[in-house]
């Protein structure tokens, strides 16, 4: 792990129209990571789940590092309260900055963008490009259909069971955060 405190990158939905329960979940994750003394790396938005996550993390005393492309600063309401707001030029730079600054990756329920980020970090893990934990927090089967399809890929020979197993799926916030910091083996 190497770095202290652990820097957790969280991917989650950026849309305001989601049910309140998802904002609460993001809030719980922010509080949980702060309680553990970790810092947050996220997409730098002050809106929706992303905003709830970062506000809650800061309330708990966590340092929050947002990474946002210049072109999304207005659209995604870049967070002026971020301890560090890294404004980059492109989406690819955003992902690289987030990857490099984090020790573990956690995806909460989200939309296409969240899936895109999750798949990149998951595939790069099973390709052995990094060894950092990749975790999904799925309390209500938001991802059930997608994950079922991924498991079928292994059954049909399109991917290995090891690749599927490289992703940890958790049901609760504590389970998810525990998986982000596995004890040294």
Ligand X SMILES: CC(C)=CCNc1ncnc2c1ncn2[C@@H]1O[C@H](COP(=O)(O)O)[C@@H](O)[C@H]1O
Query: Which positions lie near ligand X, rule CB under 6 A?
Result: 13-15, 43, 45, 72, 76, 91-92, 94-95, 110-114, 116-117
Q: How far is the CB of 78 from ligand X (least distance, A)?
A: 10
Q: How far is the CB of 162 from ligand X (least distance, A)?
A: 26
Contact 86, 72 (CB under 8 A): no
For residue 45, which of 67, 61, 30 has the smallest C-alpha distance? 67
Q: How far is the CB of 49 from ligand X (least distance, A)?
A: 8
Q: Residue 2 — φ and ψ, nearest 5°?
A: 80, -40
Comparison of 144 and 174: residue with beta carbon closer to ligand X: 144
**Coil, strand, or helix at residue 128?**
coil
Residue nearest to ligand X (CB): 113
Q: What is the chain's Cα-based Rg?
A: 16
Comparison of 54 and 180: residue with beta carbon closer to ligand X: 54
């Amino acid at each position: 792990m190497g770095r202290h405190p652990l820097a957790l990158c969280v991917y989650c939905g950026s849309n305001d129209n989601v049910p309140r329960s998802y904002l609460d979940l993001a809030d719980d994750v922010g509080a949980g990571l702060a309680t553990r003394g970790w810092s947050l790396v996220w997409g730098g938005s002050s809106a929706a789940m992303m905003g709830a996550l970062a506000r809650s993390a800061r309330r708990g005393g966590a340092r929050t590092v947002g990474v946002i492309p210049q072109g999304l600063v207005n659209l995604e309401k870049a967070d002026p309260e971020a301890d560090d707001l890294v404004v980059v030029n492109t989406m690819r730079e955003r992902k690289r900055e987030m990857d490099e600054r984090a020790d573990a990756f956690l995806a909460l329920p989200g939309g296409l963008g969240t899936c895109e980020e999750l798949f990149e970090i998951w595939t790069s893990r099973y390709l052995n490009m990094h060894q950092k934990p990749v975790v999904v927090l799925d309390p209500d089967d938001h991802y059930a259909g997608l994950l079922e399809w991924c498991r079928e890929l292994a059954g049909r020979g399109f991917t290995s069971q090891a690749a599927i197993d490289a992703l940890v799926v958790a049901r609760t916030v504590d389970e998810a955060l525990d998986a982000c910091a596995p004890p040294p083996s």
